[in-house]
Structures are given as structure tokens and as C-alpha cells.
Amino acid sequence: MPARSWGVLAILCGAIFLEGVDVAMLNVALPSIRADLGLSTGMLSGVVSAYVLGYGGFMLLGGRAADLLGRRRMFLLWLGVFLAFSGLGGFANEGWVLLLARFVTGVAAAFMTPAGLSLITTTFPEGRHRNRALLIYAGTAAGGFALGLVIGGLLTALGWRWVFFAPVLLSLVILLAAIPLLKEPATERPPAGGFDIAGALSVTGAMMLLVYGVVRLEHPSNGLPLTVAAFAGGLALLAAFVAIERRSPNPLVRLGILRSTPLVRANLVAALLTASFFGFQFLVTLYLQELRGWSTIQTGLALLAAAADVALAPTLTPWLVNRYGNAKVVVTGLLSGLLAYALFLGIGLDWTYAAMLPSMLLIGLMFAFVYGPLTIVATDGIAEHEQGLAGGLINTSFQFGAALGLSVVTAVNVAALAAATPEAGLTAMRTALLVPLTATLLATVIAATGLRTRKPTADRVPANI
């Protein structure tokens, strides 16, 4: 690839690394933030949920805005917003300032991430070069989250505010490099006819209510009517959105794109993948820190083995995809995840790290084989003027799945906890581990139905899944 293409890829990988490391570092710093600012448990949970609401609620709108308003413009604008509000979080002295900062940072990521993904799919021609670029991009995204746990532990030792200031510095470097290097792709634009305001408002409201309902699942006995109302309102707005799009001359989301079976299947698998991983990561963190007494840095280093996809995604995965196709690689990765979760069901209070390591490595293998190929499938064959929409859909699935996985494992873990003893905690954790195991099993079944016998050619791999 030309040197400029590598430069563009480095900038966009830096941005997705920024998004992953930002989320992971904050998770590690939460106890220190609560101790310093005196936040209640509800307020602390709200700091996490605010980001999820902004990210999940605006992702579809962000993807379509990139198509209609310009990918480079949206990427640079919202990267600047991300920088500013991450800095605001670092200066916060009250809980409501943190809530505002995290919500707007989540909205900024919702616009920036699909714009960055669509810049890749429109900069690199469909085929071998695009596939390699997407696999490197996906590996960097997963690596950002895994490395963020370690970096967050180190920065929190210096002071929790550095968890907010470090992304500011990284954002500034990416922004200064992006301005001269990124160019707006010369793609064919859809006919001008105005922006679908009604569709934008209804789908954003629907996604925010659905994500809010998912977050509230973490506390099933606390305000059940409000949780049900959030889901009902979200589904009602989603139905209104579909009705609006069917009649709109310039729909925000062309519903015909959902007739693509590979795209729908890829999005389902994406949601189940992140639901399983984020639920598992949460349970492992509880196990290591609360049941075993490990420090945040020790926990981050223990989970670092799951970041093996950083090396595998850009090296081994492209060769396998070109040789066997996306579907077979994805199914192999999901089977690795199934084995990892099954092995971890046998956890005990005296487990050595050597006993945990096979599961960590297998999870790294799962991400290396699944995350990138799913992104290829979700964007393959989509018209260039809808690449932002396709990117918004797959990223919405990843984010919604992560929120769902965290909420369900939390609810199951709390419901299964019979007493405040290590043995009871371990039993509840084993029960909750069935959630990521079940999610991965469903993903495997869905992905396996997309297996094809068509042999890949030298320069084009099948994207079926």
C-alpha cells in the first residue's frame, strides 16, 4: 500500500485505540474517583452509564451523518469534541460534571467511530487491501481495551485525573496528524433532499431508551416498572422510526439495507460476541479483586493475555481469511471462545494464574478471528454512500451487546448470591459465567449457518457469514 494509505490507517487506528483505552482506563479508576469526590454508588454507576447512553443512542445517527455531511468533517469535528470533554472530566470536582463529560464524550465517540470506519472502507478498495486494513483496525480496537486496563492502573496510581488527561494528549496528537493527511473520499453522493429530522429524533430516542433499559437490568429489583417503561418506550419509538423511514423521501436509514442476510447475521454475532466478552471480563475482575484480593495492576496484567489479538489480527487472520473465507474463521474463533468460557467454569479460590491462562489466550484467539472478519462482512458489498450507515450498524451492535452482557451477568450474579462469603460468591460467579457461555454458543450457531463452500479467489474472499 502507498505510504499515505498507511498514514491514514495509523490515524484511524489511533482513534479507535483511543476509544477503547478511554473506556478501560475509567473502569479501573472508578474506586479512586468515588473515594476522592465522595460519590454515591448510584452516581458512580451513572458515570459509566452516561457514556453508554451517549455512545449507543447516537451511533446510528453518527453513521448516517458521516455519509451525508462528510466523513472527514465528522471525524475531525467530533474528535475535537472528544478531546474537550475528556479534559472537562479531568477537572471535575462534582458528580454532575463527570456525568456531563462522559455523556458528551460518548456522543462524540458515536459520531467519530463510524466516520473513521467508513473512511477506511472508502479509502481502501474492496478486496485484499481493505480486508487487511480492517483486520489491523479491529485488532487495534480490541488491544486498546485490554491495554487500557494496565495503563489505567498505572495512571490511577499517579492520580485518577490522569485517566482523563491522557486521552486529551492522545486526541491532540491524532487531530494534528489527521488534518493534513485525511482527505474526503471522492464518492458518489446520494441526491440532495434534506436531512431526515423525524427519523433522526425517533431512532436516537429509541436507542437511548433501549440502552437505558438494558443498563437498569443490573438492578432488577430496583424500579422494575421504570425498566419495563424504558423498553416499551424504546420499542414504540423504534416502530415509529420504521414507519417514518418507509414514507420519507430521504430516509435516514434505507430499510432495504437490512435485507442483506450477511449484514444482519454479522450484527447479531457482533452483539453476542461483545456481550460474552464484556460480561466475562467483569466477572473475572470481581473474582480477582474481590475474591482473591489482587490489585488493579495485577488484574490488568492478568487480562493482558487476552490482548493476543493485537499480534494475531494483522498477521495470522488475513492469511486465514484469504485461505478459508470469513465464515470459517469466525466459527473457529467462536469455538475458541466457547472452550475458554467452559474451562473457566471450574474456577476455585486457590486457582493459580497458570490455570487461568489458557482461557485468556483462547479469548485473545476468539477476538483475533471474529472481530475483524465481522467488520469485513458488515461492510462488504455496501454502496459507498452507505458505508457510514453500515459502520454505524455494526458499532451499535458491538456497543449494545457490551451493555447487555454487563447488565445480564450483573443481574444473574446478584440473584445467585446466597450469602456474603467467598464460597457463595464463587458459586454465584459460576452461575453468571453461563451467560457468556450461552451467548457464545448462540453466536456460533448463527455464524455456522453462514458457512459457504465457495472457494475464495486470489484477490477476493467471500464475505458470507
Encoded amino acid at 367, one letter? F
DSSP letter at 218 equals: T
Our count of domains for the chain comes to: 2
As a whole number of angstroms, the distance between CA 203 and CA 199 comes to 6
Does residue 317 form part of some domain?
A: yes
- pLDDT range class, residue 42, cuts 50, 70, 90: low
86 and 140 in contact (C-beta within 8 Å)? no
Does residue 460 form part of some domain?
A: no
Does residue 266 form part of some domain?
A: yes
Task: Quote the Cα angle for 22-24-28, to 5°.
Answer: 115
Task: Considering only residues 186 and 316, tell me which one the structure prediction assigns the higher pLDDT.
Answer: 316
324-328, 390-394, 403-407: range with highest mean pLDDT = 324-328
* Res 454: pLDDT: 38
- Mean pLDDT taken over the chain: 84
DSSP letter at 287 equals: I
Q: Is the pLDDT of residue 187 over 70?
A: no
424 and 267 in contact (C-beta within 8 Å)? no
Mean pLDDT along residues 100-115? 92
Which residue blocks in 197-288 are alpha helix, DSSP H?
A: 197-216, 224-247, 261-286
Of the listed ranges 41-50, 51-60, 98-107, the one predicted with least confidence: 41-50
Are 262 and 176 members of one domain? Answer: yes
Mean pLDDT along residues 362-384? 86
Are 337 and 405 members of one domain? Answer: yes
82 and 107 in contact (C-beta within 8 Å)? no
Residue 431 contacts by C-beta under 8 Å, 6 or more apart in sequence?
A: 412, 413, 416
pTM metric for this prediction: 0.82
Does residue 405 form part of some domain?
A: yes
* Res 456: pLDDT: 42
Q: Give Cα separations from 113 to 8, 66, 168, 264, 336 (angstroms).
A: 14, 10, 17, 20, 28
Q: List, for residues 297-310, the tens digit of each pLDDT value.
A: 788 788 888 877 77
Q: Is 289 helix (H, G, I), strand (E, B) or coil?
A: helix
Are 171 and 26 members of one domain? Answer: yes
Are 126 and 221 members of one domain? Answer: no
* Res 407: pLDDT: 81
Q: Give me the sign of the Cα torsion angle 66, 72, 74, 78.
A: positive
Task: Considering only residues 224 and 98, tell me which one the structure prediction assigns the higher pLDDT.
Answer: 98
As a whole number of angstroms, the distance between CA 356 and CA 338 comes to 15
Instruction: Read off the C-alpha cell for 391.
Output: 459502520
Q: List, for residues 140-182, the tens digit of each pLDDT value.
A: 887 787 788 788 888 888 888 999 999 999 999 999 999 998 8
Nearest to 252 by CA among 263, 242, 267: 242
Q: Give Cα separations from 334 to 52, 116, 365, 443 (angstroms).
A: 25, 26, 9, 7
Query: Percent helix, strand and coil across the chain, each rounded to 5?
Result: 80, 0, 20
Q: Give Cα separations from 66 to 62, 146, 381, 400 (angstroms).
A: 6, 28, 18, 20
As a whole number of angstroms, the distance between CA 76 and CA 306 comes to 31
Mean pLDDT along residues 224-252? 87
Does residue 366 form part of some domain?
A: yes
Are 343 and 396 members of one domain? Answer: yes
As a whole number of angstroms, the distance between CA 8 and CA 3 comes to 9
Q: Is the pLDDT of residue 106 over 60?
A: yes
CATH number of the CATH domain containing 52: 1.20.1250.20
Q: For the purposes of burial, counting CB atoms within 10 Å of the CB of 53, is it exposed (0-12), middle (13-18) or buried (19 or more)?
A: buried
Helix (H) or strand (E) holding 434: helix 434-448
Encoded amino acid at 126, one letter? E
Residue 12 contacts by C-beta under 8 Å, 6 or more apart in sequence?
A: 116, 117, 119, 120, 137
Mean pLDDT along residues 63-84? 90
Biggest distance spanned by C-alpha atoms of the chain: 65
CA 104 to chain centre: 17
Radius of gyration of the chain (CA): 21
Q: Domain containing 220: what range? A: 197-251
Does residue 143 form part of some domain?
A: yes
Does residue 56 form part of some domain?
A: yes
Are 45 and 175 members of one domain? Answer: yes
Are 232 and 268 members of one domain? Answer: no
Are 204 and 265 members of one domain? Answer: no
Q: Of 206, 231, 251, which residue is a domain's last?
A: 251
* Res 378: pLDDT: 85
* Res 417: pLDDT: 79
Are 378 and 360 members of one domain? Answer: yes
* Res 121: pLDDT: 85
Q: Is 325 helix (H, G, I), strand (E, B) or coil?
A: coil
DSSP letter at 135 equals: H
Q: List, for residues 287-342, the tens digit of each pLDDT value.
A: 887 788 888 778 878 888 887 777 787 788 888 988 888 889 999 999 999 999 99
Q: What is the DSSP string of 16-46?
A: HHHHHHHHHHHHHHHHHHHHHHT--HHHHHH
Are 218 and 296 members of one domain? Answer: no
Does residue 60 form part of some domain?
A: yes
Are 329 and 274 members of one domain? Answer: yes
Q: Is the pLDDT of residue 189 over 70?
A: no
Residue 14 contacts by C-beta under 8 Å, 6 or more apart in sequence?
A: 140, 170, 173, 174, 177
Q: List, for residues 218-234, the tens digit of each pLDDT value.
A: 666 667 788 889 889 98
* Res 269: pLDDT: 94
47-56, 324-333, 397-406: range with highest mean pLDDT = 324-333
Are 204 and 328 members of one domain? Answer: no
Q: List, for residues 412-445, the tens digit of each pLDDT value.
A: 887 887 777 888 888 988 999 999 999 999 999 9
